């Protein structure tokens, strides 16, 4: 594990410790979201609140974690590769360092833009004539390369390949030239794509959400201060009362005794990511007024109505398919049972030195309860299928354990198109559904039947207007216009350039 400690003084002096990247030897079966962000401003030290919030939001990114605080003219930053508990372990090398400050931000990361390296972990820092800036970002800036080129020509330098650093440099330039609030507004007009951010400018804390509202961001109040976080479950952890979501296009300043809506940059349309409700968010979170757990149960009920089947038992692929499986069981009347058991400690414990061991990695993660499987017709429910490799292996496990039939039901339509807004699905050759019929996919998975929820059924379950959701990965219709690559149907896609940049 690698930990970096950075302290910026009034002169902007910088010290960085060693940088050694950790690696995850197993391929995940699901897409990953970009990261989680947190911001705290209160009358007490912010560090313990940020740490607890990041641990709650660990599901949004397991690659790196970091916290930055501000006090007495200093920004203090501690970050490293690995889980929050690893980076901030009491056994670490920096347990004698206290991140002092009543204002702070936190970040967990899974890379979707930029490589997996210490340089690309957040939060990011920069100093200018206004003072010290620190940023945590969830999402993806679609015009980052164009902005990077402009900034390089103006004399700015970059330490990473991350779009978050591009965002920070753009904000830094604009607030120097125009002032803090006008500079933030100008930055929002120039930045395209998905971003929910927490931003420190010296001791001032801001929560900002892009005008289309791709990624979630909410505000809460706790005894002695206010908080911003990617999901409301983080507010619950620190005893904060959920106040509201940050509106799409809104800049909120967070103070110890109040929050202030500075301005809102309007957009003609919204594009809330449907995958937040299907998979990314914790089920106990509320996002844009909709409880995630209830949405997932509704997805399962809709699946049972759209694709009924005669079977003996309903299983979930743990843990992602559990709420959908419960909904399917409730609607169909077929008994729900735990037929697959997940080893929650396998992913970061075992390093697979050979291809043979890598191929058998699933057995380290999942095992069957034979008595629940043998001689039964099974409905296997999951939230989504991307590549299909893991689903195929799970079906094989059930067959070998004695399942008579395996019927797969998926609480998300077929994923057919790349995401450019903060999800690590970038090429069409990643998707088992690309260019295949449902029958062809069923044959490849070796299942008795296969049913994906319809797009209309998905929308009904989430209880949002269709035009307010980003459904690009299942429809191929992007909320921001894209140039040729997707229309050309290439399997390897270049990052698109939005037409309105």
pLDDT of residue 3: 37
In degrees rounded to 5, what are phi and psi of residue 262? -80, -50
The answer to whether residues 359 and 382 touch, using CB atoms and an 8 Å cutoff, is: no
pLDDT of residue 415: 94
- Six-digit token string for 311: 């079977």
The answer to whether residues 367 and 396 touch, using CB atoms and an 8 Å cutoff, is: no
- Six-digit token string for 381: 């429910």
Average pLDDT, the chain: 85
% the chain with pLDDT above 90 = 70
What is the tens place of the pLDDT at every residue in 195-235? 999 999 999 999 999 999 999 999 999 999 999 999 999 99
Give the model's confidence band at 4: pLDDT under 50 very low, under 70 low, under 90 confident, else very high.
Answer: very low
Give the model's confidence band at 114: pLDDT under 50 very low, under 70 low, under 90 confident, else very high.
Answer: very low
Least confident piece of the model among 105-114, 253-262, 296-305, 318-327: 105-114
pLDDT of residue 140: 92
pLDDT of residue 480: 84
Give the model's confidence band at 291: pLDDT under 50 very low, under 70 low, under 90 confident, else very high.
Answer: very high
Dist CA 221 CA 229 (whole Å): 11
Dist CA 217 CA 246 (whole Å): 6
Q: Is the pLDDT of residue 438 over 50?
A: yes
**Strand, coil or helix: what is 310?**
coil
CATH class of 293-488: alpha beta
In degrees rounded to 5, what are phi and psi of residue 440? -65, -40
Least confident piece of the model among 85-89, 174-178, 224-228, 285-289: 85-89
Chain center to CA of 328: 26
Dist CA 197 CA 217 (whole Å): 8
The arithmetic mean of pLDDT across residues 319-347, rounded, is 90
The answer to whether residues 352 and 358 touch, using CB atoms and an 8 Å cutoff, is: yes
Domain ranges for the chain: 33-268, 293-488
pLDDT of residue 362: 61
For residue 460, is it left (φ>0), alpha (ψ between -120 and 50) or beta?
Answer: alpha
**Strand, coil or helix: what is 136?**
strand
pLDDT of residue 496: 35
Least confident piece of the model among 16-20, 59-63, 115-119: 16-20
Least confident piece of the model among 116-125, 303-312, 483-492: 483-492
pLDDT of residue 426: 67
pLDDT of residue 7: 42
**Strand, coil or helix: what is 436?**
coil
Hey, what CATH topology would domain 33-268 get? Answer: 3.60.20
The arithmetic mean of pLDDT across residues 128-151, rounded, is 95
Q: Is the pLDDT of residue 485 over 80?
A: no
pLDDT of residue 166: 96
pLDDT of residue 101: 97
Give the model's confidence band at 122: pLDDT under 50 very low, under 70 low, under 90 confident, else very high.
Answer: confident
Give the model's confidence band at 121: pLDDT under 50 very low, under 70 low, under 90 confident, else very high.
Answer: confident
Q: Is the pLDDT of residue 5 over 90?
A: no
Q: How many CB atoms lie within 10 A of CB 240?
A: 23
pLDDT of residue 351: 38
Q: Is the pLDDT of residue 41 over 50?
A: yes
Q: Is the pLDDT of residue 17 over 80?
A: no
More confident residue, 3 or 246: 246
The arithmetic mean of pLDDT across residues 148-160, rounded, is 92
More confident residue, 294 or 156: 294
pLDDT of residue 175: 97
Q: Is the pLDDT of residue 492 over 70?
A: no
pLDDT of residue 90: 65
pLDDT of residue 376: 98
The arithmetic mean of pLDDT across residues 149-175, rounded, is 94
% the chain with pLDDT above 70 = 82
Give the model's confidence band at 497: pLDDT under 50 very low, under 70 low, under 90 confident, else very high.
Answer: very low
- Six-digit token string for 133: 């800036």
Least confident piece of the model among 31-35, 44-48, 288-292, 389-393: 31-35
What is the tens place of the pLDDT at every residue in 252-262? 999 999 999 99
Strand partners, 61: none
Give the C-alpha distances (Å, rounded to integers) separating 469 from 84, 188, 304, 405.
Answer: 31, 20, 23, 36
Q: Is the pLDDT of residue 352 over 80?
A: no
In degrees rounded to 5, what are phi and psi of residue 381? -115, 135
Give the model's confidence band at 110: pLDDT under 50 very low, under 70 low, under 90 confident, else very high.
Answer: confident
- Six-digit token string for 141: 């800036």
Q: Is the pLDDT of residue 371 over 80?
A: yes
Q: Which positions are catalytic? A: 35
């Amino acid at each position: 594990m690698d930990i970096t400690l950075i302290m910026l003084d009034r002169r902007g002096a910088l010290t960085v410790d060693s940088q050694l990247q950790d690696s995850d030897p197993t391929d995940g079966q699901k897409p990953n979201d970009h990261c989680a962000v947190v911001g705290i401003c209160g009358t007490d030290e912010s560090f313990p609140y940020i740490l607890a919030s990041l641990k709650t939001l660990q599901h949004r990114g397991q690659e790196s974690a970091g916290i930055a605080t501000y006090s007495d003219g200093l920004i203090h930053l501690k970050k490293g590769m690995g889980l929050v508990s690893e980076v901030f372990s009491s056994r670490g090398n920096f347990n004698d360092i206290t991140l002092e400050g009543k204002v702070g931000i936190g970040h967990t990361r899974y890379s979707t833009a930029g490589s997996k390296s210490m340089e690309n972990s957040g939060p990011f820092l920069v100093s200018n004539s206004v003072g010290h800036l620190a940023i945590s970002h969830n999402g993806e800036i679609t015009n980052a390369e164009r902005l990077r080129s402009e900034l390089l020509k103006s004399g700015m330098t970059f330490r990473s390949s991350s779009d978050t650093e591009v965002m920070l440099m753009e904000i830094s330039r604009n607030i120097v030239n125009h002032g803090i609030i006008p500079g933030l507004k100008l930055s929002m007009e120039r930045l395209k794509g998905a971003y929910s951010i927490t931003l420190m400018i010296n001791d001032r804390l801001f929560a900002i959400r892009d005008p289309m509202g791709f990624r979630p961001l909410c505000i809460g109040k706790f005894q002695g201060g206010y908080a911003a976080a990617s999901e409301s479950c983080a507010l619950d952890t620190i005893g904060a009362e959920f106040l509201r979501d940050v509106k799409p296009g809104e800049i909120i300043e967070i103070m110890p005794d109040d929050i202030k809506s500075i301005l809102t940059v309007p957009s003609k349309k919204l594009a809330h990511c449907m995958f937040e409700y299907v998979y990314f968010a914790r089920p106990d979170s509320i996002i844009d007024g909709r409880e995630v757990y209830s949405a997932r149960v509704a997805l399962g009920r809709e699946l049972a109505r759209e694709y009924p089947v005669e079977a003996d038992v309903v299983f979930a692929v743990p843990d992602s398919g559990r709420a959908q499986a419960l909904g399917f069981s409730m609607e169909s009347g077929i008994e729900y049972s735990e037929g697959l058991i997940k080893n929650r400690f396998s992913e970061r414990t075992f390093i697979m030195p050979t291809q043979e061991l890598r191929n058998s990695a699933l057995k380290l993660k999942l095992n069957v309860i034979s008595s629940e499987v043998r001689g039964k017709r099974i409905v296997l429910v999951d939230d989504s299928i991307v590549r299909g490799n893991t689903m195929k292996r799970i079906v094989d496990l059930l067959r070998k354990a004695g399942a008579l039939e395996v019927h797969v039901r998926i609480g998300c339509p077929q994923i057919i198109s790349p995401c450019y807004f903060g999800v690590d699905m970038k090429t069409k050759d990643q998707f088992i559904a690309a260019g295949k019929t449902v029958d062809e996919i069923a044959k490849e998975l070796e299942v008795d039947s296969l049913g994906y929820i319809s797009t209309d059924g998905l929308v009904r379950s989430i209880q949002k207007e269709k035009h307010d959701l980003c459904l690009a990965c299942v429809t191929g219709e992007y909320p921001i216009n894209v140039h040729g690559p997707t229309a050309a149907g290439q399997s390897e896609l270049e990052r698109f350039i939005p037409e309105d940049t």
